[in-house]
Structure 1
Amino acid sequence: MLKGGCNCGAVSFEIEMDLKDVYICHCSICRKWTGNNGVAVSIVPNEKFRWSAGQEQIACWEKPDADWQSWFCRNCGSALPGRNDERNMFIPVGLLDARVDNLKVAHHIWVESKASWDEITDNGKQHKRAFQV
């Protein structure tokens, strides 16, 4: 079982499966959300994910002109797992408590939207836009 949580420890979660694929989204929304070149996530079926503490500390912001939401800790502002689609959660992999050696970048999405300074140098498959997981 994998465990993770926010920076201050108020919110924590558990994942009942091994993770291997990392998806890096390079869209402008994810860049603004993280202040970086995008966000690195793994996708987990809803039934393999559970909150273990702090659900009352989770806040959500919905972008008014896009079908996009971000979840974050009310205390420390850390990004948190959120709804990827009806069946799956996305998990920002930087939230995991333990090092997961088998994680590899498998896909880069919204590459057509990436910042001009963002250089992709790994072997992850590049997609101009999103694709169905």
Structure 2
Amino acid sequence: MGAPINTGDETLDNVGRHAHWFVRAAFVSVFLYMGIDKFMGSGIAGFAAAMDLPYLMALPVALAEIGAGVLIVLGALTNGWITRLGAVMTVPVLLGAIVMEHWGQWHFMATPTHPLGGMMFQVTLLFVALYILVRGNDF
């Protein structure tokens, strides 16, 4: 896990081997929270109605978010292909969110035309997902 960074400072290099957890924690916390949150309150049916999605499309979105978070953590403990699988699961979810809800506004702030905000955050997450997909556990 974690590629050596070889800064010349032994302490920094030792800590650097574990820095991948910062990226994992940030990425995983978003997807686990959003996936679990879709089961809370009005549940998957409420999420489906709010997004104008069929229930049978909304359910896999929530499960993919939770599954991706779990796999990216498990990948750190096992191998890079598990990490990559978790990352690739987020790509269609993020592309769907960008195209269906956030397209047309870059800034993340809510506006009358984009009540859930623009696509800045989702595009950033998409690039992080692609980075994790390419690098596996070597980041």
Larger radius of gyration between Structure 1 and Structure 2:
2
| Shared fold, TM over 0.5 | no
Give me the TM-score of the superposition, normalised by structure 2.
0.23
